[in-house]
């Protein structure tokens, strides 16, 4: 019976942590549909936060690759005075990147809803 309380307690902590993360990300970044993303990304910094192999396999035309794994060392390559349009494969990593950038003082953060796998616009690939 004690194990049941421990399991329930752990589950509650995980759920609460998940909800807190969800709302922090939601507050840090604006989700954009593909149409909204297309309207603004040419006037912004377009950053693909996927790993280099994913980027090489295909990316949105005009995007720069700054992988999430290299962000702590490279975030200063991104200007804080211009809008930042982020995307990854499915939307999970770009939210975490936005949280990091928000802590560093970036305010104009946007992400592609659904990520690159939902993208139907122009792409560039090295293959």
User: pLDDT tens digit string along 59-118?
Assistant: 999 999 999 999 999 999 999 999 999 999 998 899 999 999 999 999 999 999 999 998
C-beta atoms surrounding 51 within 10 Å: 17
Question: Which domain does 74 fall in, by range?
Answer: 2-124
Q: Angle 78-84-61 (CA atoms, 0-180°, nearest 5)?
A: 95
Alpha helices of the chain — where are they, by DSSP H? Answer: 2-28, 34-41, 52-56, 71-74, 92-103
- How many domains does one find in the chain? 1
Q: Looking at residue 98, which CATH number applies to its domain? A: 3.40.250.10
CA–CA separation, 20 vs 14, rounded Å?
Answer: 10
- Percentage with pLDDT > 90 across the chain: 72
pLDDT value at 126 more than 90: no
Average per-residue pLDDT in the chain? 91
Backbone conformation region of residue 117, classed left if phi is above 0, alpha if psi is from -120 to 50, else beta: alpha
Q: Supply 63's token pair.
A: 């995007």
């Amino acid at each position: 019976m004690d194990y049941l309380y421990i399991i329930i307690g752990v589950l509650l902590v995980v759920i609460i942590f998940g909800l807190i993360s969800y709302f922090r990300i939601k507050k840090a970044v604006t989700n954009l549909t593909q149409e909204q993303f297309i309207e603004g990304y040419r006037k912004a910094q377009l950053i693909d936060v996927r790993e280099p192999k994913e980027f090489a396999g295909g990316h949105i035309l005009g995007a720069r690759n700054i992988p999430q794994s290299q962000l702590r060392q490279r975030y200063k390559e991104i200007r804080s005075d211009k809008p930042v349009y982020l995307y990854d494969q499915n939307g999970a990593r770009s939210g975490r990147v936005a949280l990091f950038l928000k802590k560093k003082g970036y305010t104009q953060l946007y992400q592609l809803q659904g990520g690159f796998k939902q993208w139907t616009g122009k792409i560039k690939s090295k293959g």
